[in-house]
């Protein structure tokens, strides 16, 4: 708002002349250090009172040059780096990268390793959705569910810790299979989590779903149509909440997902509330998958025969998986040497975030926070 | 031998695996084979020699097209009811080649459940036609390619750097940009330190 334009002339204060009551566009900076941006996202808002006229995202604050790093490491050495993309779902990243390199190598992963991968990746989806649920609901003003979600996530992180020694950046898988076999009591512990988590998800529902404030803050907020989702390349729960039944685990099964029975939950309204319902339902489906995988876990080797120095043949592949945030793809180019020639990460958060402007334009400023939360972005992946 | 892990953590599972024979070692190495389909035929009929190559590698289809027709090929593909979504768009730098920049568009068809990669080579400094007119989602992707490779897109509505600061000099994903290289002037001026390392 410029200060002097109101009082240039006293005439302007006369009725009919006044610019005093004209609404001026207020430019407001939000972030990068803002608790509701889930990291270091900066949003520049153009406001007309409470209404958002325009919005621009400024990203890159967490850029570490992951793709450049890859070109200076060996194929196996790059493995731990992918965990730092979406750090709330490190296991999924690891799976995506390993599958891509295995495709390039033409390696068949042993069945037991595939099942172990499914179990851990689905646990990771649960943990990721719990982080989303807790923080998203917290942003909108409900503090309690955060503690419930993080309490229950702890059980899953304990499994990761027992399995590979790390809780967040797990580096759970290796090219060709898994580095670690299931520990003693693995199956029982996971089945116990599955038994526990069902009622706990009911508890989340009781806390959140029927709450009037929650409904007012999420219904018809951040609407995006199915056509816009496709134009933006949006994937994952955001796409499914706009009534498109699309899930790579079903449509292009990888790592033995075809062995398991599960449904793809979809929404109808394409708003924040439907995205919430879809993600919570996905958690229930994940539990179903985990249960089947644990019960079907067969004996056998956990890693395929892979050369010590991995030198994939000259060529390029694009392999993608259904990560908790959407389609996570790896486009790899090999020149036949021990180092990748190019690694391109197709990050779901980056592509989904692009729709923020479209979704938030015309909404109220308080809804921007809800819309950032519902997109479920992780800045480690956006900025790479 | 399986991949040797970092550190020597005791792990009975891994030892057991090392002894177990795995048949995967004999799997043939993947190599590109020609890709022929009604779609390729139709494109060849329209664009003739503009379609340089159509092949399948590791079960994935790709098209190599001439840069003069790349935009038309992409629009033609997207105009079919099939390849309506742009999954990703990126570039690869081959500094020794005459046309050093390879643009890669990954298109996806939901109805056919298929992907196709379209590739075209460009000279350094040459402008690539934007696809933001067809897919709004290409906006940030093209900005990222500009940021990382210095490839300009003709017709892009808002071509600025996206991940790096706007005043940064150099394009990090070019092969001649060193792994430790940085814009030291920028770092000194804006961060007040000698090096970001």
Which residues, numbered 141 to 180 in chain B, qualify as contacts with chain A under a Cβ-Cβ cut-off of 8 Å?
141, 148, 161-165, 172-173, 177, 179
- Do A196 and A101 fall within a single domain? yes
Cα–Cα distance between A27 and A11 in angstroms, integer?
28
A177/B2 touch (CB, cutoff 8 Å), yes or no = yes
pLDDT at B75 over 60: yes
Q: How confident is the model at residue B196 (pLDDT cuts 50, 70, 90)?
A: low
- Do A100 and A168 fall within a single domain? yes
Domain span including residue A48: 4-58
B163/A59 touch (CB, cutoff 8 Å), yes or no = yes
DSSP-assigned states of every residue in A107-156: PPPPHHHHHHHHHHHHHHHHHHHHHHHHHHHHHHT--HHHHHHHHHHHHH
Of B9, B13, B29, the CB nearest to A313: B29
- Do A323 and A258 fall within a single domain? yes
- Do A320 and A300 fall within a single domain? yes
- Do A307 and A245 fall within a single domain? yes
- Do A26 and A124 fall within a single domain? no
Total residue count of chain B as it appears in this document: 197
Relative to beta strand A26-30, strand A42-48 is: antiparallel
Cα–Cα distance between A38 and A133 in angstroms, integer?
12
Hey, what are A18's tokens?
Answer: 């006044």
- Do A377 and A298 fall within a single domain? yes
Which residue in chain B has the smallest CA separation from A163?
A: B11
Hey, what are A339's tokens?
Answer: 């180092």
Q: Sort A239 into a burial class: Cβ within 10 Å, 0-12 / 13-18 / 19+.
A: buried
- Quick: pLDDT tens for B24-33: 444 456 678 8
- Quick: pLDDT tens for A54-81: 888 889 888 888 999 999 899 989 989 9
Q: What is the CATH number of the domain that holds A263?
A: 1.10.645.10
Ordered by where they begin, the domains of chain B are 30-188 (3.30.460.80)
pLDDT at B66 over 50: yes
Last residue of a domain, one of A39, A58, A77: A58
- Do A153 and A32 fall within a single domain? no
Q: How confident is the model at residue B169 (pLDDT cuts 50, 70, 90)?
A: confident
B163/A76 touch (CB, cutoff 8 Å), yes or no = no
Which of A57, A65, A252 to probe by mutation at the B interface, max B CB count within 10 Å?
A: A65
- Do A132 and A270 fall within a single domain? yes
A351/B137 touch (CB, cutoff 8 Å), yes or no = yes
Last residue of a domain, one of A37, A58, A79: A58
Which residues, numbered 91 to 130 in chain B, qualify as contacts with chain A under a Cβ-Cβ cut-off of 8 Å?
92-93, 104, 106, 110, 113, 115, 117
pLDDT at B25: 46
- Do A189 and A54 fall within a single domain? no
- Side-chain half-sphere exposure of B37, counting CA atoms within 13 A: 11
Q: How many domains does chain A have?
A: 2
Show residues of chain A in contact with B24, CB under 8 Å.
107-108, 304-305
pLDDT at B8: 41
- Do A181 and A72 fall within a single domain? yes
- Do A34 and A104 fall within a single domain? no
* Segments of chain A with pLDDT less than 70: 1-23
**Mind spelling out the 3-state secondary structure of A325-355?**
CEEEEEEEEECCCCCCCEEEEECHHHHHHCC
Q: Is ipTM > 0.95 here?
A: no
- Quick: pLDDT tens for A240-268: 998 888 888 888 888 889 889 899 998 88
């Amino acid at each position: 708002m410029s200060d002097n334009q109101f009082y240039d002339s006293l005439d302007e204060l006369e009725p009919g002349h006044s610019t005093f009551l004209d609404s001026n566009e207020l430019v407001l900076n939000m972030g990068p250090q803002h608790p509701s941006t889930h990291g270091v996202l900066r949003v520049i808002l153009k406001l007309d009172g409470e209404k958002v006229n325009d919005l621009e995202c400024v990203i890159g604050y967490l850029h570490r040059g992951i793709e450049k790093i890859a070109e200076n490491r060996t194929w196996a050495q790059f493995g731990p780096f992918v965990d730092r993309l979406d750090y709330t779902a490190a296991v999924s990243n690891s799976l995506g990268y390993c599958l891509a390199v295995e495709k390039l190598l033409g390696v068949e992963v042993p069945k037991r390793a595939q099942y172990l991968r499914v179990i851990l990746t689905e646990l990771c989806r649960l943990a990721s959705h719990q982080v989303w649920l807790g923080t998203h609901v917290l942003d909108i003003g409900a503090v309690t569910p955060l503690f419930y979600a993080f309490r229950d996530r702890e059980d899953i992180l304990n499994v990761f810790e027992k399995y590979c020694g790390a809780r967040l950046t797990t580096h759970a898988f290796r090219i060709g299979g898994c580095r670690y076999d299931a520990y003693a009591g693995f199956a029982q512990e996971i089945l116990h989590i599955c038994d526990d988590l069902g009622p706990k998800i009911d508890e989340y529902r009781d806390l959140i779903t029927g709450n009037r404030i929650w409904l007012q803050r999420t219904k018809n907020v951040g609407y995006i149509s199915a056509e816009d989702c496709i134009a933006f390349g949006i994937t994952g729960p955001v796409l499914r909440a706009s009534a498109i039944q699309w899930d790579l685990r079903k449509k292009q099964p990888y790592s033995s997902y075809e062995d398991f029975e599960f449904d793809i939950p979809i929404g109808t309204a394409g708003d924040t509330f439907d995205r919430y319902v879809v993600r919570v339902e996905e958690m229930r489906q994940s539990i179903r998958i985990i249960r089947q995988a644990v019960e079907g876990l067969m004996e056998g080797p956990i890693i395929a025969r892979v050369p010590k120095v991995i030198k994939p043949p000259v060529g390029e592949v694009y392999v993608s998986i259904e990560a908790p945030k959407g389609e996570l793809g790896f486009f790899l180019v090999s020149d036949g040497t021990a180092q990748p020639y190019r690694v391109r990460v197709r990050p779901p958060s980056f592509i989904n975030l692009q729709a923020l402007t479209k979704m938030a334009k015309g909404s109220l400023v308080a809804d921007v926070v809800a819309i950032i939360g519902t997109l479920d972005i992780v800045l480690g992946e956006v900025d790479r | 031998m399986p991949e040797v892990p970092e550190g020597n953590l005791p792990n009975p599972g891994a030892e057991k695996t090392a002894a177990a024979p795995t048949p995967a070692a004999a799997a043939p190495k993947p190599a590109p084979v020609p890709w022929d389909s009604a779609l390729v035929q139709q494109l060849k009929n329209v664009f003739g020699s503009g379609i340089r190559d159509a092949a399948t590698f590791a079960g994935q289809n790709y098209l190599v097209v001439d840069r003069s027709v790349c935009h038309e090929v992409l629009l033609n593909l997207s105009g079919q009811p099939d390849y309506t979504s742009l999954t990703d768009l990126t570039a690869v730098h081959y500094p020794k080649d005459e046309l050093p920049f390879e643009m890669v568009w990954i298109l996806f068809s939901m109805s056919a459940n298929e992907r196709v990669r379209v590739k075209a080579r460009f000279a350094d400094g040459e402008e690539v036609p934007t696809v933001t007119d067809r897919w709004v989602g290409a906006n940030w992707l093209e900005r990222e390619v500009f940021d990382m490779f210095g490839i300009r897109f003709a017709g892009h509505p808002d071509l600025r750097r996206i991940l790096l600061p706007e005043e940064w000099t150099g394009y990090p994903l070019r092969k001649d940009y060193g792994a430790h290289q940085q814009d030291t002037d920028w770092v000194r001026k804006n961060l007040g330190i000698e090096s970001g390392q």
